[in-house]
Structure 1
Amino acid sequence: MSEAGSAVLPDGGKVTIRHARREDLPTLVALFAADSLGGHGDTSDPVAAGDYLAAFEEIERSPNDRLYVAELAGEVAGTFQTTLTRTLTGRGSLKMTVEAVQTRADLRGRGIGAAMIRFAIEEARRAGARQVQLMSNAVRVDAHRFYERLGFAKSHVGFKLKL
């Protein structure tokens, strides 16, 4: 998997996509905590810091998971995570799942999200994946249009069971 990539945004700005670092963690947590639609229960409360650090370290150690940030003018503007999964279906195909896609609210509409997704797609191709998949909360109608503009199709119904 690539260490970094960059893209020129429609407004001429340059976004750099790189692996997340430990020092990015407070910014990423704040980004998730600010998401009122996600329903994930994320919080910037210092009591939860250990949970986020443990998750970050596990992701960092995993050979199949990558956590990325998109930087604009030296600041974290967005984030996403990828996971590669080998399955027996599709003749043993490799799939990439894209998770936790977030762009800072004040920077949406500038092309940062599209740059992150295009980067993920290219990483999937480099890894030899046959498919890129993602799930989006049913209430995120704008996000659904965004993913469809990038070539994704609604093809499955997802189910979740909270434990």
Structure 2
Amino acid sequence: MKQDKNVFKPLQKNKKAYFNYEVIEDLECGIALVGTEVKSLREGKFSFADSYVTVTDRTLTLVGLTIQPYTHGNIHNHDPNRNRRLLAHKSEIKRLKRRVIEKGFTLVPTSIYLRGNLVKVQVSLCRGKQLHDKRAATKERDMNRDMRREVKQLQY
């Protein structure tokens, strides 16, 4: 039985990135993994805490993504905090490098998902939010939640 390449299974979203940054643009990248990292990712044993993407001349590197060692692994388990190479086209890397050089832009991983059997990372070009923007976002979210709650109560 062959797996469809377009089957999309989200593993985790970086909600903190959406709160701290204004997302300008998204890019889907592959990720170079070793050994048991894929099995740990499928189990959901990873954390986005303070992760970001660096751009060099020819590569994108994911820094700060923690993938816990696989529980059924052996002595050849992976290092949980190593930097991981992201796979993207050369033209996309050049374009992102030009944008990151501009003041205030950064690259942040916003989600990790499975597309078929492949692990993909959604990298977003972001600009940091000011404190008052974060407060406005929190206020809007609370108002929407209250409205949904009232509509639900009216239905019953």
Give the TM bin, normalised by the shorter chain. under 0.3
Q: Under a length normalisation based on structure 1, what TM-score does the superposition of the two structures give?
A: 0.25
Return the structure number with greater helix share. Answer: 1
Return the structure number with greater strand share. Answer: 2
* Higher RCO (Cα < 8 Å, 6 or more apart): 2
Q: Under a length normalisation based on structure 2, what TM-score does the superposition of the two structures give?
A: 0.26
